[in-house]
Amino acid sequence: MSHALQSAGFRTLFRVSDPRPRDASAPEVSPPRFSRTDFVSPPGQVPPAASQAAPPAQAPHTENKPLRVGIFGRGRLGSAVLENAKDAKGLTVAWALGRGYAPRSPVDVVLDASHADAVRDHVEWAVRTGSDLVIGTSGWTIPDLADLVGDRIGVLTAPNFSLAAALLRRLALVLARFAASYPEADLGITEKHHNKKADAPSGTAKSLAAALVEGCPRFTGWSLAPAAPGKVSVASLRTGYEVGFHEVLLDAPSETMTLTHEARSRDLFARGALEALRWIRGRKGVYSFDDMAAEMLDPLFRMECADDRGTR
């Protein structure tokens, strides 16, 4: 098979779109505890918050007013964000809470780095208080998230806060489109994480698999190894202290090609989470980290090819 790509054809490998809503400081001391009923009332009953006066609307964030941030979760990600926030400009952490604690006040934007089972409660709290929300927890599903959020707050979901990982997803899509015209080529994903990570495969691996399925019609989904016919094979390893490793593989009889991203420190994700908190403030609807990354990454794919310019 010929691998030559004309410059015009090369540009069609990339699909660029503008971000849009998708359908689909120190911690507080001894905050009050809550149960799920603080967020969701039994059928026919009025939630406690509904009987109280609605909280005042959040004032638009301005550059000279620090962004007030809350953090759900004191695990690896939440702790890393809290530490990195100490040196962040224009941002202050109002509270950072472990599991089972209720915040005392709304904030401009809150990070959910807790547990999959708590995400819906936190979404409902954010909607009720008018606090924008960034979800960095993995393994959760809320099919009606867009309906739940509406245009009341902004919500950003992120399986991975690394800008380079978002770039990897775009390159995976290009690789899949290349494989679509290469019948002998197979596609697969390998991912490795520390032995405390509860879900497998990772949210990032699922996002990469979705990109491969989008780009190569031969595949209709993914499956954990061994691969099922017509499925992208995904292999997951949970051992040791690996922060995060993802590899996308094209395997053909006469050649192979791999795309790899390895995180060396959780500070990488903490810095990305802080940028996501700034980005979502003031927006309405549901976005992904990929929407945020589009503003910085998609222009890279609009560069002219040398043949188009005539000279390099």
DSSP assignment string, 271-294: HHHHHHHHHHTT--EEEEHHHHHH
Q: How far, in Å, CA of 86 to CA of 93, rounded?
A: 8
Residue 250 pairs in a beta bridge with: 187, 257
Choose the CATH number for 36-161+268-298 among 2.160.20.10, 3.40.50.720, 3.40.50.300, 3.90.180.10.
3.40.50.720
Residue 135: its pLDDT value, please?
97
CB contact set of 22 (below 8 Å; sequence gap of 6+): 146, 285, 286, 287, 288, 291
Domain ranges of the chain: 36-161+268-298, 162-265
Interior CA angle at 89 toward 86 and 95, to 5°?
45
Judge: domain 162-265, CATH 3.40.50.620.
Answer: no
pLDDT above 70 covers a percentage of the chain that reads 76
* Res 4: pLDDT: 38
* Residue positions annotated with a catalytic role: 193, 197
Q: Return the pLDDT at 100.
A: 75
pLDDT 10s digits, 156-212: 999 889 999 999 999 999 999 999 999 999 999 999 999 988 889 998 999 999 999
244 by DSSP, 3-state: which?
Answer: strand
Tens digits of residue pLDDT in 213-266? 999 999 999 999 787 889 999 999 999 998 899 999 999 999 999 999 999 988
User: What tokens does 61 get?
Assistant: 């964030």
Say which residue the tokens 């026919």 belong to.
Answer: 44
CA distance 126 to 263: 30
